[in-house]
Amino acid sequence: MIQFTLRQLAYLTQTAQQGGIAQAARQLNVSPAAIASGIDKLEAVTGLTLFDRFPAQGMRLTRAGEEFAAQATMLLSQAETLDRHASDLASGRTGAIHIGTHHALAQQIVLPAVLAFRESHPGVRIEVVEADYPTLIEALDTGKVDALVVFDQGFVSARHKCEVLLKLPPLVLLSAEHKLAAQSQIELSDLADLPYIAVSPAGPGPSYLQLLQTAGVHPEVPFQSQSRELVQAYVGKGLGFTLVGFSPKQNLTIEGDPVVARPIKEDIGHYKVVVARTRNAVRLDLACTFLAACGAVARSTIAKNHQEIESL
């Protein structure tokens, strides 16, 4: 167990620099008695004679005192660095944030939030883990991530607390060459005889296909993939339609085929995008600030979607 204090080390180093207790006391703005007592206690707990004392001439470090004082100076410097780092952490100027998310949300919400956040917090390191739902839940429960920005696929309320960022009604994604692409809204009856391209389920909760089926539409499913990009590529080739929360960037698939996203006239439900934390997690100011940036991006996304729909 460490038996001396940083204050005692400061008294030691300052006395060595100034050559005497009185001078060190003036420099540190404390009483000479406090410094003398601090050095006496330091010598007592270390078992070292740190100074040779010369009446009327001051004090000089012994050989052991020189070695000890050199280490004390390094330790005090490290303590000052740690103190500044703690201050930076408390003020949000530095630190690390670990966020888990889905691929689609990484593109649409998390990435824009990262770019905006880094402008105001350049000293903060942000680490984003993109994975499937079960992997993300494990990362959250084991503390590998501070929070998740994900679709709500059924969190356990006893373990997790969720804040809704936005509600996403599904959009119909079609090839731009499809006859329905000219419509501003798609009716469920229009989809009845069209093939559906499905994303393989990656966790609990209803899929978009199940939302359709619950609404009474039961399309054939000739293609299915774990890759959303590949599903959209099938759509771009005119092989069927799918439902999405966000349309692809520039309304193009990875194959370069143009696609369009259209709202469904009927209400068949929606997906919630949430921020999820564990109930026993320590609330970190940095993470909260970043998640607020995600919320701002989500609100901007909603407004943009509404504008695009109204312009159709």
Residues 113 and 99: their CA atoms lie apart, in Å, by 11
Q: Provide the token pair at 126.
A: 């942000």
Domains in the chain: ranges and CATH: 6-91 (1.10.10.10), 96-166+272-311 (3.40.190.10), 170-269 (3.40.190.10)
Burial class of residue 38 in the structure, from the number of CB atoms within 10 Å of its CB (0-12 exposed, 13-18 middle, 19+ buried): buried
Provide the pLDDT for residue 260.
94
Q: Decide if 289 contacts 108 (C-beta within 8 A).
A: no
Q: Decide if 170 contacts 243 (C-beta within 8 A).
A: yes
Helix and strand element counts for the chain (H, E): 11, 12
For the chain, 312 residues long, give each residue's pLDDT as a single digit of tens. 788 999 999 999 999 989 899 999 998 999 999 999 999 999 999 999 999 988 767 789 999 999 999 999 888 888 876 776 676 566 556 678 889 998 888 888 899 899 888 888 888 888 899 988 888 988 888 888 888 999 888 888 888 989 898 888 889 999 999 999 999 999 999 998 999 999 886 566 678 888 899 999 999 999 999 888 999 999 999 999 999 988 887 889 999 999 999 999 999 988 888 999 888 765 667 778 888 888 888 888 766 665 555 555
Token pair 């040779």 is at which residue?
52
Provide the pLDDT for residue 302.
66
Give one DSSP letter per residue of 73-137, joined into a string.
HHHHHHHHHHHHHHHHHHHTSSEEEEEEE-HHHIIIIIHHHHHHHHHH-TTEEEEEEE--HHHHH
